[in-house]
């Protein structure tokens, strides 16, 4: 069986794709292009899923892709829980903002910052791993989980599947830990629903900030570049119109999201939650 033939061929002119991602910036035609870039640039979060189960072995393929991500010092401080049971998905949806797609998608992956595995191994070897109690190693584990998850997401999209991250999985960290039987020193960083996109609920490629606002050359240029921001607000309003979404400036949406602690929807008590989950964060 040829696996190469199952990789979707590039489907769109690169310039057209780049222009959808960055509508405001005139990007030069790329010198190089391939199917990997095509998959990455096609990304959009999918929240409407068909009920079909994933083919046998897909979960393991996604985890192999996740394990292929770089990992700090090869410590591999992450794990993932795959949830397919309807009742458990439903209970987790209740804990994660009642988002219906969590129930609808056949597969829910919960990506974990996992400092417990090495702790257990160390206990068997009477080895010392006090370094894992420092904030630094917590950051390492969260970064590791994110890199692994994003590799799985790209792999899923390359197979014609769709996915969406679920930050709301951090709304009630202790309850999520209980549902998933997480031992101390393990934290659910986010969830990810995976499945076949419902073609009736297809969404567009969401434009991002112009590169002039995110790409700094040699040194950081601290400027608010209000003309570029105004342009992006207008672009996002155009996108919202096209998608039938509520009209709101991107800037206002960001301000609303992080206005104060209450706007974090329960995640303002993250330090306390992490302590309860066994993280010292020295």
Binding site for ligand FMN (CB under 6 A): 43-45, 47, 99, 164-168, 190, 206
Cβ atoms within 10 Å, residue 111: 27
Residue nearest to ligand FMN (CB): 167
**Smallest gap from residue 164 Cβ to ligand FMN (A):** 5
Q: Which is nearer to ligand FMN, 101 or 118 (CB)?
A: 101
Nearer to ligand FMN, 58 or 203 (CB): 203
Query: Half-sphere exposure of residue 213, counting CA atoms within 13 Å on the CB side?
Result: 15
Instruction: Tell me how far apart the alpha carbons of residues 118 and 96 are, in angstroms, rounded to a whole number.
Output: 28
Query: Cβ neighbours of residue 21 under 8 Å, at least 6 residues apart?
Result: 41, 205, 207, 208
Q: Which is nearer to ligand FMN, 99 or 116 (CB)?
A: 99
Question: Based on CB atoms, which residue is closest to ligand FMN, 106 or 119?
Answer: 106
Residue 47 or residue 89: which is nearer to ligand FMN going by CB? 47
CA–CA separation, 261 and 174 (whole Å)? 19
Q: Which is nearer to ligand FMN, 43 or 133 (CB)?
A: 43
Say how far apart CA 49 and CA 193 lie, in whole Å.
9
- 102 and 49 in contact (C-beta within 8 Å)? no
- Residue number with CB closer to ligand FMN (44 or 237): 44
Reference 115, options 270, 282, 279; nearest CA is 279
Contacts of 276 (CB under 8 A, 6+ apart): 173, 174
């Amino acid at each position: 069986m040829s696996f190469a033939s199952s990789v979707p061929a590039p489907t769109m002119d690169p310039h057209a794709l780049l222009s959808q991602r960055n509508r405001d910036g005139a990007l030069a035609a790329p010198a190089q292009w391939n199917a990997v870039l095509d998959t990455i640039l096609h990304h959009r979060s999918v929240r409407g899923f068909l009920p079909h189960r994933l083919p046998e072995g897909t979960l393991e393929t996604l985890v192999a892709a996740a394990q292929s991500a770089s990992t700090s010092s090869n410590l591999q401080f992450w794990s993932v829980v795959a949830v397919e049971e309807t009742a458990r998905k439903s209970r987790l949806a209740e804990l994660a903002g009642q988002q219906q797609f969590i129930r609808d998608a056949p597969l829910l992956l919960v990506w974990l910052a996992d400092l417990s595995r090495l702790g257990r191994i160390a206990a068997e070897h009477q080895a010392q791993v006090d370094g894992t109690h420092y904030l630094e190693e917590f950051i390492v584990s969260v970064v590791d989980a994110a890199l692994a998850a994003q590799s799985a997401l790209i792999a899923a999209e390359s197979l014609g599947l769709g996915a969406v991250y679920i930050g709301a999985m951090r709304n009630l960290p202790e309850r999520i830990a209980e549902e998933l039987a997480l031992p101390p020193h393990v934290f659910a960083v986010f969830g990810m629903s995976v499945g076949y996109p419902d073609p009736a609920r297809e969404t567009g490629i969401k434009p991002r900030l112009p590169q002039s606002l995110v790409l700094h050359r040699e040194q950081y240029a601290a400027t608010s570049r209000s003309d570029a921001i105004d342009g992006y607000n207008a672009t996002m309003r155009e996108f919202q119109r096209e998608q039938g979404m509520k009209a709101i400036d991107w800037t206002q949406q960001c301000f609303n999201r992080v206005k104060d602690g209450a706007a974090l929807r329960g995640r303002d008590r993250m330090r306390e939650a992490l302590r309860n989950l066994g993280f010292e964060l020295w």
